[in-house]
């Protein structure tokens, strides 16, 4: 039988997997906002928030939901340079990425192509994750492409980059919607943790996590999903060890859970001895 | 996961640090509360002298009937003590009784000391505290309280009051050495060295007290 703590640990692996997506109220609201925005005539939507607030999973989730309904493209990894980025776009209308052959892509041709698309014929949506990594040249290209009104961009980026973009009038005037993702509240984080465990059928472990434990977890992670994953992973890693090597210490899981949380907190540097 | 043992040690250090910090903060807060309460007491005393005076007067009046009832009883007890104890102790008790009308024991004589106590207390710097102890003593009859009052008055050079409260202490128990010593010292300070010597001799005969013996020797040698 697979160690239950090993299973619990795997529930908190920090991977962007839509099958592992946990519906949290604030994320659901953001999802509805995104879907509404996609159905409207818009140019650019910014999805922003601090790292670990669930931007990538939300973007990927909406891609999975809409990929058979709309012409939607998800650029999970940011293009390293302008040519690479234009290569992704060329693939949309040429069916292949010509940048791989070191072919210089004519941006004006791309603009002409997108402009030539008659209204209603194609509705192209690009989802750009980690958009803060695009340089200003690429962002300028995105702005010009968005101006063709036939290509839309949903850009997930960090808070700081959003501030930088909004200071530029020519860019900010094209942003139709800004959706902010925040860290989870205590209640949301509790739901997140419980659902993660219940998805793996770990009812006993879930029921043993007390309010005081959740309070401590939230105190350390401040409701950040990525930090929460890290902490929970480490907690169950320690439990896995105890379960395997020092079984007696595991006889009362309730009494030592906060100790283990603190140990995990020490390991991850949330607290210091 | 060989690092778990190290992590556990680290966790123990963290716990010690956490509780030490908690203890330090608690101690600091407690200190602040005590300092604040002392300061508040002092200020409230200076701002409400009249109020304190009234409080004492009220307490004294409330106690008057009770004291009237107590006086004969106490006097009777003293007589019994005179009969039952040694001749030296009798000397001491007689002297104590003889001193009362002259000094602080008009309580026993004519029910007048309340007025005198009130005036004297008003002049003392720790009146708030002393008043509280007086009131508490009337309730509890705790010899520790009366001895505290005797010591406090002696330190304030109010020897008559110190002598009075030392007697009060001795009425409850004769086993408190400090009470006897304050009684003797107060007498000496008030100019009655012979009486002071008699008190000390009485106590040394009763209890083999090193401190009382030393004081007796120094008084006899006129070094004190």
Q: Is the pLDDT of residue B58 over 70?
A: no
Q: What are the chain A neighbours of B2 within 8 Å (beta carbons)?
A: none
Residue B206 · residue B174 · CB < 8 Å: yes
CA distance B10 to chain A (A): 6
* Cβ atoms < 10 Å from Cβ of A171: 18
- Global pTM? 0.57
Mean pLDDT, residues A185-205 taken together: 91
Q: How many CB pairs under 8 A join A and B?
A: 29
B123 or A64, which is more confident: A64
Which pLDDT score, from 0 to 100, does residue B182 have? 92
- With bands split at pLDDT 50, 70 and 90, how would you rate the model's confidence at A222? very high
A248 or B145, which is more confident: B145
Question: Which range among A224-238, B72-86, B93-107, B200-214 has the greatest average pLDDT?
Answer: A224-238
Which pLDDT score, from 0 to 100, does residue A140 have? 85
> By three-state DSSP, how is residue B72 classified?
helix
CA distances from B167 to A127, B32, B33, B159 (A): 96, 38, 36, 12
Judged by a CB distance cut-off of 8 A, whether residue B14 touches chain A is yes
Over pLDDT 70: what percentage of chain A?
A: 85
Mean pLDDT, residues A202-212 taken together: 88
Range of weakest confidence among A141-145, A156-160, B53-57: B53-57
| Cβ contacts of A249 within 8 Å, gap of 6 or more | A242, A256
B185 or A116, which is more confident: B185
List residues in chain A touching B: CB distance below 8 A: 237-238, 240-242, 259, 262-263, 266-267, 271-273
Q: Is the pLDDT of residue B96 over 60?
A: no
Residue A273 · residue B14 · CB < 8 Å: yes
Mean pLDDT of chain A: 84
- The ipTM assigned to this model is 0.74
Judged by a CB distance cut-off of 8 A, whether residue B4 touches chain A is yes
- Strand pairing partners for A256? none
């Amino acid at each position: 039988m697979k160690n239950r703590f090993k299973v619990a640990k795997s529930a908190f692996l920090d991977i962007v997997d839509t099958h592992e997506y946990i519906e949290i109220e604030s994320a659901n609201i953001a999802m509805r906002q995104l879907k509404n925005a996609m159905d409207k005539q818009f140019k650019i939507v910014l999805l922003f928030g601090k790292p670990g607030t669930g931007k990538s999973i939300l973007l990927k989730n909406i891609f999975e939901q809409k990929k058979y309904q709309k012409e939607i493209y998800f650029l999970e990894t940011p293009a390293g340079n302008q040519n690479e980025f234009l290569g992704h776009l060329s693939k949309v209308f040429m069916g292949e990425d010509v940048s791989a052959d070191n072919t210089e892509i004519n941006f004006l041709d791309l603009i002409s192509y997108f402009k030539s698309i008659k209204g209603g014929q194609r509705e192209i949506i690009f989802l750009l994750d980690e958009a803060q990594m695009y340089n200003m040249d690429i962002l300028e290209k995105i702005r010009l492409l968005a101006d063709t009104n036939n290509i839309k961009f949903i850009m997930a980026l960090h808070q700081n980059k959003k501030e930088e973009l909004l200071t530029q009038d020519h860019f900010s005037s094209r942003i139709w919607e800004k959706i902010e993702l925040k860290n989870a509240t205590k209640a949301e984080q509790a739901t997140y943790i419980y659902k993660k465990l219940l998805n793996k059928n770990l009812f006993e472990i879930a029921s043993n996590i007390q309010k005081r434990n959740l309070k401590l977890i939230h105190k350390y992670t401040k409701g950040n999903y990525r930090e929460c994953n890290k902490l929970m992973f480490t907690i169950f890693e320690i439990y896995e060890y105890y379960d395997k090597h020092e079984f007696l210490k595991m006889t009362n899981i309730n009494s030592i859970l906060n100790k283990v949380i603190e140990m995990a907190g020490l390991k991850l540097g949330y607290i210091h001895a | 996961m060989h690092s778990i043992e190290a992590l556990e040690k680290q966790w123990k250090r963290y716990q010690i640090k956490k509780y030490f910090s908690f203890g330090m903060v608690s101690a600091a807060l407690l200190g602040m509360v005590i300092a604040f309460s002392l300061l508040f007491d002092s200020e409230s005393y200076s701002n409400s002298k009249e109020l304190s005076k009234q409080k004492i007067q009220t307490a004294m009046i409330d106690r008057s009937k009770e004291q009237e009832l107590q006086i004969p009883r106490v006097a009777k007890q003293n007589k019994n003590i005179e009969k039952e104890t040694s001749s030296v102790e009798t000397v001491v008790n007689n002297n104590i009784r003889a001193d009362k009308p002259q000094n602080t024991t008009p309580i026993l004589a004519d029910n007048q000391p309340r007025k005198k106590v009130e005036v004297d207390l008003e002049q003392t710097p720790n009146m708030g505290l002393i008043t509280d102890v007086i009131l508490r003593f009337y309730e509890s009859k705790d010899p520790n309280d009366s001895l505290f009052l005797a010591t406090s008055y002696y330190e304030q050079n109010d020897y008559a009051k110190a002598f009075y409260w030392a007697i009060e202490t001795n009425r409850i128990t004769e086993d408190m050495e400090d009470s006897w010593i304050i009684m003797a010292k107060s007498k000496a300070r008030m100019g009655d060295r012979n009486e002071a010597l008699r008190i000390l001799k009485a106590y040394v005969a009763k209890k083999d007290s090193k401190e009382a013996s030393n004081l007796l020797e120094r008084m006899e040698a006129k070094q004190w």
